[in-house]
């Protein structure tokens, strides 16, 4: 080296140059949006479908509408959900999963079977008409209508409905073991209670001026208390599904 000449910084090799950015996370382009995973894309499609069905009704929604809402091609939507019926069933399954998770956490706070059953009734009451009611109720009504004309869809509807009645059956079993409830046919009571609540809920979501959420709550608790032999408590604040 010539005296007084500055040493030139050593340029790292390609391997060396590639290591530090990778190790410290610098190799990522900060301006590039991370690519969505397959599960994230499915979720976006489901969320968009739920919104559109609640806004327009099932008959007013096409797969292409869902694609436009999420910025995807129709073919991309079909890749995940070949038909609108598939999308509807999956959307209901997702909302029921969320509802079941929330309900399980909520009911764990109640020590007695009768208090858990009453709370489940409260949580299942819809509020408002079709546009104001929680999306799960709108989706269920659309599925019931579709299932009337499609045997395969009817079987899928029945499987989803069974989750609701099974939850009631479980609470009744707990109450019978603890002596809180009478020894009645738990399956029959669960079916009848679910049917009573579904029927009144349909009126509420359809905008019936003579049926309110309080009517639904009171009818459900009154019927359960009569069938199972417990004294109905005063109503508490409810949170709908």
* Rounded mean pLDDT, 75-79: 93
Q: How many domains does the chain have?
A: 2
Mean pLDDT, range 180-191, rounded to an integer: 97
pLDDT at res. 108: 93
Q: Is the pLDDT of residue 53 over 60?
A: yes
Look at residue 237 and tell me whether its pLDDT is greater than 70.
Answer: no
pLDDT class of 73 with cuts at 50, 70, 90: very high
Range of the domain at 123: 96-228
* Low-confidence winner among 38-52, 72-86, 116-130 (lowest mean pLDDT): 116-130
pLDDT number for residue 236: 53
Mean pLDDT score of the chain: 81
Q: How far is CA 38 from the centre of its chain?
A: 19
Q: Where are the alpha helices (DSSP H) in the chain?
A: 14-23, 38-56, 63-70, 74-80, 84-107, 113-123, 135-147, 151-178, 186-205, 213-228
Please indicate, yes or no, whether residues 113 and 164 belong to a single structural domain of this protein: yes
CA atoms of 61 and 80, how far apart (whole Å): 17
C-beta of residue 93 within 8 angstroms of C-beta of residue 72: no
List Cβ neighbours of 237 (8 Å cut-off, separation of 6 or more): 122
Contact 74, 67 (CB under 8 A): yes
Span 86-98, pLDDT tens digits:
988 888 888 888 8
Query: Residue 4: inside a domain, yes or no?
Result: no
41 vs 95 pLDDT, higher one: 41
| Amino acid 2: pLDDT | 45
125 and 197 in a single domain? The answer is yes
Whether 222 is covered by a domain: the verdict is: yes
Which of 20, 49, 82 lies at the terminal end of a domain, its last residue?
Answer: 82
- The yes-or-no verdict on residue 169 having pLDDT over 70 is yes
Answer whether residue 226 shows pLDDT above 60. yes
């Amino acid at each position: 080296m010539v005296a007084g000449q500055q040493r030139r910084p050593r340029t790292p090799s390609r391997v060396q140059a590639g290591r530090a950015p990778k190790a410290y996370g610098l190799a990522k382009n900060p301006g590039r949006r991370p690519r969505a995973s397959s599960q994230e894309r499915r979720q976006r499609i489901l969320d968009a479908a739920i919104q559109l069905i609640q806004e327009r009704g099932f008959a007013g929604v096409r797969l292409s509408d869902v694609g436009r809402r999420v910025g995807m091609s129709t073919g991309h939507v079909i890749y995940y959900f070949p038909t609108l019926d598939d999308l509807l069933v999956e959307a209901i399954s997702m909302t029921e999963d969320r509802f079941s998770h929330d309900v399980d956490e909520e009911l764990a706070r109640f020590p007695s079977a009768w208090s858990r059953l009453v709370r489940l009734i409260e949580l299942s009451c819809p509020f408002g008409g079709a546009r104001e009611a929680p999306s799960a109720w709108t989706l269920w009504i659309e599925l019931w209508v579709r299932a009337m004309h499609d045997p395969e869809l009817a079987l899928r509807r029945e499987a989803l409905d069974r989750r609701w009645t099974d939850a009631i059956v479980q609470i009744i079993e707990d109450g019978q073991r603890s002596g809180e409830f009478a020894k009645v046919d738990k399956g029959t009571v669960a079916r009848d209670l679910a049917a009573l609540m579904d029927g009144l809920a349909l009126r509420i979501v359809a905008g019936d001026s003579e049926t309110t959420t309080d009517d639904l709550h009171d009818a459900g608790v009154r019927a359960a208390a009569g069938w199972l032999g417990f004294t109905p408590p005063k109503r508490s604040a409810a949170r709908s599904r």
